[in-house]
Structures are given as structure tokens and as C-alpha cells.
Amino acid sequence: MTSAHKLAEDILKKADIEIGGTRPGDVVVHDDSVYTRVLAGGTLALGESYMDGDWDANELDTFVSKVMRARLDKELKPSFGLLLTYLWARLFNQQTKTGSKRVALEHYDLGNDLYEAMLGPTMGYTCGYWKDAKTLDEAQDAKHDLICRKIGLKKGDRVLDIGCGWGSFLKFAAEKYGAEGVGVTISKEQAEYAREFCKGLPVEIRIQDYRDVSEQFDHIISIGMFEHVGVKNYRTYFEVANRCLKKDGFFLLHTIGQNESHVYGDPWLSKYIFPNSVLPSPKFVATALEDLFVMEDWHNFGPYYDKTLMAWFENFDKAWPALKGKYDERFYRMWKYYLLMCAGLFRARSTQLWQIVLSKNGVPGGYTSVR
């Protein structure tokens, strides 16, 4: 046994994980070079070595959850490359109007066939609301309905959806509440799909950067887009929302969040899944909206993302025989790692899902929280 193997074994024991064990969270190593590779390269190397087939977990989501509950991520020293990434993120705005397009090209434009198979008929690519739901479709509809109720949506209201995805919320709001809507996205594939998805409804889909929106709306919502805004643009984002919101309207922000404040994202996720993306912290959100909005409600239902991601993986895995003609086996391992790793993060409660309701001047007498 090499010293790297022994060190990895000792670290994993702190999370009650065995190398070669048979329990759900245990791992199997196929290439002994993985020990040195991961100890030197951290979470980026962990994900890349999984993509390369150097190791497997009996249940990847359980493995990640146990690792994060034991805070084993703190056991690995940051590599020189990670330190450079941190410095770069501190010095430069990676989510300029040009830079922000990377995530559209490399992630959201991957192929609508992939997302249709994974997301199902609602095409909702954010956390479902599982309070009373039994299926993924029910959870996504419940999430959309929850948002409509939180902003007090009524017939004829005009809603702006910042980062509208494939149009799932606007379609729901128009069909179920009689609302009108404008959705902005920087993804060409999403825009084309959303226009067809919302055909015949009072919904306009634009390929437009959120910073270029100038007209006012009764309400504004943003579901799963804030993760791509970047720390240096948080203040601008809330200024745009303030500018575009009518005085008595609500702005509902639905975003993944993290417990600590960082200016850079996870190295593996940033490289392979969401380029230039970073999760906000409570501190960053509160600071950015100061003197622009009144905080009316902050709702955390992060554990529901675990169930959502597991449902997405089940759909993806089931559809793989039909998809693999277009996507190779390394893509399968990458996508599996993405979905199950994220499920483990939410299960460990190291990552959160927030819905934040904001008003411009405060609700007279107070806002009534909706759950």
C-alpha cells in the first residue's frame, strides 16, 4: 500500500467510507494512481478521475453526502490552479455580457433531446416542490403554482421571467392564471424551444441579456438563473429588477445557495457543467439588495433538490439507450457524476435552495408567507 493510498483510506474513514467495501457509500478503485491524483488535484481531479473510469461508488450520491457531512472537502489543500482561479475571480468579472454566453453554449445548448428526456413534459430545470407531490411532474407544477401564489399573480398581470429556460413557468402562469409574460434567455436552443412550447399564449420569448431589459412589469420572477450572474454583477442584477418592477409588485428570486461566501464555483462543475457560475451566499444576497428591496420572505427547501436530482437521473439513465448514439460513454459518466454529486450535496445540507420574495416599498401591514 502506497502512502497516498493509506492517506486516502484514513481520510475516508472519517466519513465511515471504505475502499473496496460493499455498503452504499463505499468506493471501488480501478486505478491506484487515483490516490495521488485526487490528493494533489482536489475535487476537480476527483470528478475527472470518475469520468475516466478510475473509480466508482456503490451509490455515488450516498458517497458524496457522507463526504460532505464529514467535511472531508476541508481535508484537501487547495491546488495552485485553484488558487489562481480564486485570484482571477477576485480580479475580473467573468460574467460580462460576452462571458455569460459560455454557459448557454456549453450547457443549455447541449441538445433539447437530452433535456426533454431528463426533465419530462414540464421542462422545469430547477428544484421541484415536493410538499404534496408524488411525481416529478407534480413537483414541478407545484413549484410553479407556489411561485404564482407567492407573488399574488392574477389574470392580466404581466410578468418578466429573467432566465426563462424552456418557458415552463410562463406557460404555466399563462394557462393556469391567465397572466401575460416576457421571458429572456441567452440560449438560442432554449429560446426556439420556448417559443414553440408557449405557442398561442400571451408569452414573448427574447434572446436578451437581463441587463438590457428596461420596461416595467407587474411582477418579476427568476428561477435558477442567479447562479450564473456572478458576485461582481449581483448589485447590477438587483438594480435591473428594481428598475423593471412596478411599485406594488413582487420580485421572486429562486436560486441555489451555499452556506459560505465564495467568489468562485466548484472547479469540476465550473469546468464541465456550468462555466463561470458561482453559488450565492446569504451575505452576498443581502448586501446586493440593500436599499433596493424589502425582504418579505426567505424560504429554504433545499432537501427537495435531492429528490428532484434523483428523479432527473432516473429519467436520464432510462433514456440513455436512445441518447448514446449522440453522446459518448464519457459524457454518460460526466452527467451521472453531475446529477448524483449534486444530489449528495443537497442531502448533506451543504447546498441550499432559496425562494426569496422582495418588494420595493414593503407590504402595508406585512406580507403573508405562502408555503
Active-site residues: which are they?
Answer: 342
Closest alpha carbon to 65 in 344, 281, 308: 344
Residue 132's CB: how many other CB atoms inside 10 A? 8
Q: With beta carbons less than 8 A apart as the criterion, state whether 152 and 177 touch.
A: no
Alpha-carbon gap, residue 165 to 9, rounded angstroms? 42
Residue 107's CB: how many other CB atoms inside 10 A? 16
Tell me the residue type at 182. V
Closest alpha carbon to 78 in 26, 48, 39, 113: 39
Q: With beta carbons less than 8 A apart as the criterion, state whether 38 and 49 touch.
A: yes
Residue 121's CB: how many other CB atoms inside 10 A? 10
Tell me the residue type at 347. R
SS3 state at 258: strand
Closest alpha carbon to 173 in 99, 100, 210, 122: 122
Q: With beta carbons less than 8 A apart as the criterion, state whether 72 and 34 touch.
A: no
Chain CA centroid to CA 284, Å: 17
Chain CA centroid to CA 12, Å: 27
Tell me the residue type at 343. A
Closest alpha carbon to 40 in 267, 303, 319, 334: 267
Backbone φ, ψ for residue 145 (5° rounding): -65, -40
Secondary structure in 3-state letters for 106-166: HHHCCCHHHHHHHHCCCCCCCCCCCCCCCCHHHHHHHHHHHHHHHCCCCCCCEEEEECCCC
Q: Which residues pair with 183 in a beta bridge?
A: 161, 205
Residue 52's CB: how many other CB atoms inside 10 A? 14
